Each structure stands twice: as structure tokens, then as C-alpha cells.
Amino acid sequence: MRIRSVVNVTILLTTLTASLGAAAGLIVLCLKGSIWDSITVVACVSGFVGAMMSLEFAVYALLFLGLAEGAYKTIAPSFFTLVVKDLMLAFILVRLLYTSLRNKDFSWLNQRLTVPVILFVGYAFAMIAAPSTHSPALALAGVRSWILWIPLYYPVYVVFNNKTTVVRLFQTMCWVSMPVAAYGLYQSIMGYEHLRVSEELYRHTLWYTGRAVSIFNSPSHLGNFCALIVLISLALTLYHTSMVRRGLFFGVAVLAGGGLIASGTRGSFLGLLVGLLVFLLLARRKTLIIAIVALAGLISYNYMVPTAETGAERIRQTITPQIVVRRISKPFQRALKQVSEYPLGYGVATGAGSGRIYGELRRTAGARDIKWIENEFGRVLSEMGLPGLFFWLSMLWVATRGALTAARSTRDDADHYLFCAMAAGMFVLLSQLLIGGALYDAAAGIYFWIFAAMAVRLSKALEEEQEAETAPPVEAVEEKPLAATH
């Protein structure tokens, strides 16, 4: 009876969510006459309604919006599609605060990361008042690009509080990556002619000259996501004992490697090498891991590289030591020159940074003489100066240290590989910050804070389980009958 009741409630909630989403989509279709706008609104409204019912569902909906933003922002460009991820994040935070107030439990705030986060976020908002700020909208856009996904750490800490939820997220990411990477390989082979059904999407993808984008906004997003999937699928290959599942996730790793090659992204390739190195240094059974990685690399080289020839050739041309060193050092040189003139930072309303400020906002930038810096370390120096760099690095160090500590302290080997994947994935994203990546990226950068939160929370949950198992049993105290009184 209980199972039937749960199924009935689930069906009713699903029907309600789909109905509200469909109603909103029909309204948009009547007002604007665009089927793409209608589909976008149906998906987003359904996600919002589902988010009100389940915090875990809300996090999954946010991740889906981050993965698919390259499609819906290109097909149906509007202010709504621009801020839909911000709205979903706001829903998540409001629900978390409501639940905490109702239960009178704010223990999720009692963490080492909280103080560095407060210092950095506070300093970022303070930079709005810099003399260079001539546009409040531009200043808020600058602050947003720095702090967007930091608050997500806390809902993830609350939701993914056991091994089941963590493994479920990892497996979901692997299942989603299969069609995503396969479609990237298809684009690398067949081109973009099939996208002519949407002229906007077709023109957008043509700009990347043969590099695969799949459903993402750019090839770098596809490459970064696939780099994370390689590490996650490697961890799941080692985590499971079933040979069928091991073979399946090994295949996912190879396919994700093919998607990375199809993207032709130098940063993703170098980031994956950094992540594999961190995974190997943290892992206990190094010989087995080297054998698995070598086999996957051999298969990718023989089958994926010839398939994604355009992307593979671009990676070969752009990973020479001279190009990589120049790519990293030049933005640093610009940043050091600017910070020598403005040690406290020029302000977050400069528009410095590739891909962070668009359109009219970029034309109102307060620092027209400031050259853009495609390097987050250089950008934080330029915009927020030495104090901002210190707060930012402190925050990243505390987050990364938590994942590394969890990976080293876990006793069970199977669980250990999950933590290795989280820590290695964070290093993939950190290395990207040197050559153009950013943590505000919803396709991959968002996972830095997700992995950081899951590592700390899961480590704490496993420690609590071990303490409960090793605790001496509590002996029942036999109650003695009261003496009869006369």
C-alpha cells in the first residue's frame, strides 16, 4: 500500500508539473508565435515547479539548464533565457532557507569555507563603489560573474549527504554524456548542415570552423565537460565490482575522450592531463589505474583521433610548449602592469575578461583602456587587486583542501575512488583558469563547487557511519520493580 501511495503521488506531481509547463508554453506561443520560445518556457516552468517540490530535483534541473544553455540561448534569445539559471539558483536558495527556518537548523553554514566566502563576496560587492564604475548594471554583471555559483555549495552540501545520492549524480552525468559526446563526434564527421532547421544555431556553430560544440555554447564547454566525465567514469569503473558495469563505464570514458578530441580544445586536453595526474597521485592502486588509462588512451588514439580529425589536429597545433607558455604568461603580464597602477583593483565594472560582458553593457565599460584578460588569476588582479586575489585564493584553497583531505582519509577503497574523481575534477577546472576557463561557466565550472561540497559532506557522513559501527553497544538497563509499600 505504501508503494502504491508513493507511485500515485509521484504521478500526480509529475502531471501537475507538466500541465503548468504546457500551459505556460501555450501562452508564450500565442503571444510570440515562436515554437522555440514555447518549448523553452515549457521546460523552464516545469523545472521551476519541480524545484518547489524537491531540492534534489532543483539541483538536477539547474545542471540540465547549464548543459543545454548553448541551444536555448541561441534558438530563443531573450532576457528570460539569459537569467533562467539565476532564477533557478534563487529558487534553490529560497527553498533551502525556508527548510532551515522551519527545522531551525542552519548547521550547513558551520563550515571552514564560510568565512573565506563572506570575505571574497563582500569585497566583490565593495568594488562596485570603485571610481571606475559608471554603470551599475555593468558592475552587477561583473560581480555576478565572480560569485554566481558559490552559493550553490550549501544546497549541494545538504542534498548530497550520502553515498547513494553522490553515485546517482555521477551515473546520471555519465548517461547524459553519452549522447552529448556522440553528437559532438557526429558534428565533427558530418558538419553542421543538419542544424539549418534553426538559422541562429547554424550560424552560431559555423563560427567555430569545424570544431564540435554538441549542445553547448562553445567547444571549450564540451571539452571541459567531457574531461570531467572521463575522471568520473574512471572512478565508477573502479568503484563497481560487476564486470558488466565496469565495462560500461570504461566505454563511457572512451566516448567522453572522443568528445573532448572533437571539441579541439587545448585547455580541456591539458586540464584532463592535470586531472589524471592528481587522480593517480591520490589513488592507492596506481598500477591498475595506469593500465586502465593506457588502454583507454590507446583505444582513443586508434579510433577517436581519426574520427575527430579536425579537433585532434587543432589540439596538436596548440599544445606546443611555446604556445602554452605564451598563452599563460601574456595575460599575467597585462595584469601585473595594471595592478602596479591600481593595487586595490580597478573595479568589477571594467568589462575585462572574455565572454563575461556582452552587447550594450560592454560599450558602457568604465575602463576602455583596460585590455581584456582571458585568465582568471590575471583578471582578479586587474579587477580586485591584491586584496581580492588573497580572498579569492583563500576561498579556492579551503574548498580544494577539503576534497584532498577527504580523498586521503577515506578507508574504503571503492569510496576512495569517488573522492579521487572529485578532487581531480576540481584540479581540471582550476588549471583551466590559467588559459581561459572560468568558474561561472554553467557547463563545467559549476562542478567545482558541487564536487567541493559533496566531498566534504560525504566524508563526514562516512565518518559518522564508521563511528556508529565501532561504537560499543548500549546495554539495556533492566528496571527493578518498586518495593511494595504498606
User: Residue 209 contacts by C-beta under 8 Å, 6 or more apart in sequence?
Assistant: none
Residue 477 lies in a domain: no
Q: Who wins on pLDDT, 370 or 469?
A: 469
Residues 383 and 406 reside in one and the same domain: yes
User: Residue 300 contacts by C-beta under 8 Å, 6 or more apart in sequence?
Assistant: 254, 257, 258, 261
349 pLDDT above the threshold of 60? yes
CA atoms of 116 and 392, how far apart (whole Å): 8
Q: Who wins on pLDDT, 118 or 196?
A: 118
Confidence tier at 13 by pLDDT (50, 70, 90): very low
Residues 126 and 67 reside in one and the same domain: no
- C-alpha cell, 234: 574512471
CA atoms of 425 and 272, how far apart (whole Å): 8
Q: What is the pLDDT of residue 12?
A: 38
Residue where a domain stops, chosen among 105, 123, 146: 105
pTM of the model: 0.85
Phi, psi of 104 (to 5 degrees): 55, 45
Residues 185 and 318 reside in one and the same domain: yes
Residues 208 and 236 reside in one and the same domain: yes
pLDDT tens-place string over residues 128-172: 887 777 777 778 888 888 898 999 999 999 999 899 999 999 999
User: Reduced to 3 DSSP states, what percent helix, strand and coil does the chain have, rounded to the nearest 5?
Assistant: 75, 0, 25
> Which among 220, 437, 440, 435 has a CA at the least distance from the CA of 332?
435
Which domain covers residue 90, as residue numbers? 1-105
Q: Which residue has cell 553519452?
A: 178
Q: What is the pLDDT of residue 374?
A: 76
Residues 35 and 139 reside in one and the same domain: no
Q: What is the pLDDT of residue 360?
A: 53
Residue 183 lies in a domain: yes
Residue where a domain stops, chosen among 38, 71, 105: 105
Residues 278 and 364 reside in one and the same domain: yes
Cα torsion for 422, 424, 430, 431, to the nearest 10°?
Answer: -160
Residue 30 lies in a domain: yes
Cα torsion for 66, 70, 71, 75, to the nearest 10°?
Answer: 120
Residue 486 lies in a domain: no
pLDDT tens-place string over residues 83-94: 778 888 888 898
CA atoms of 281 and 273, how far apart (whole Å): 12
- Please say whether the beta carbons of 405 and 459 come within 8 A: yes
Counted domains in the chain:
2
Distances from the Cα of 101 to the Cαs of 106, 167, 270, in angstroms?
8, 29, 44
> Which among 83, 63, 64 has a CA at the least distance from the CA of 73?
83
Confidence tier at 351 by pLDDT (50, 70, 90): low
Torsion sign across C-alpha atoms 438, 439, 442, 443: positive
Q: Who wins on pLDDT, 348 or 106?
A: 106
pLDDT tens-place string over residues 445-465: 899 999 999 999 999 988 888
Confidence tier at 479 by pLDDT (50, 70, 90): low
Residue 472 lies in a domain: no
Residue 473 lies in a domain: no
pLDDT tens-place string over residues 27-50: 444 444 455 555 556 566 666 666
Phi, psi of 152 (to 5 degrees): -65, -20
Torsion sign across C-alpha atoms 436, 218, 358, 129: negative
User: Residue 276 contacts by C-beta under 8 Å, 6 or more apart in sequence?
Assistant: 230, 231, 293, 424
Residue 205 lies in a domain: yes
What one-character DSSP code corresponds to residue 151?
Answer: G
Residue 479 lies in a domain: no
Q: What is the pLDDT of residue 454?
A: 95
Q: What is the pLDDT of residue 475?
A: 56
- Please say whether the beta carbons of 21 and 43 come within 8 A: yes
Q: Who wins on pLDDT, 282 or 76?
A: 282
212: amino acid identity, one letter: A
- C-alpha cell, 416: 576512495
Residues 99 and 185 reside in one and the same domain: no
Confidence tier at 319 by pLDDT (50, 70, 90): confident
Residues 129 and 238 reside in one and the same domain: yes
First to last CA, the chain: 53
User: Residue 322 contacts by C-beta under 8 Å, 6 or more apart in sequence?
Assistant: none
Residue where a domain stops, chosen among 63, 78, 105: 105
Residues 139 and 93 reside in one and the same domain: no
Phi, psi of 240 (to 5 degrees): -80, 150
CA atoms of 98 and 88, how far apart (whole Å): 15
Residues 296 and 231 reside in one and the same domain: yes
282 pLDDT above the threshold of 50? yes
Distances from the Cα of 477 to the Cαs of 263, 471, 480, in angstroms?
67, 18, 9
345 pLDDT above the threshold of 60? yes
Residues 75 and 88 reside in one and the same domain: yes
464: amino acid identity, one letter: E
Residues 446 and 328 reside in one and the same domain: yes
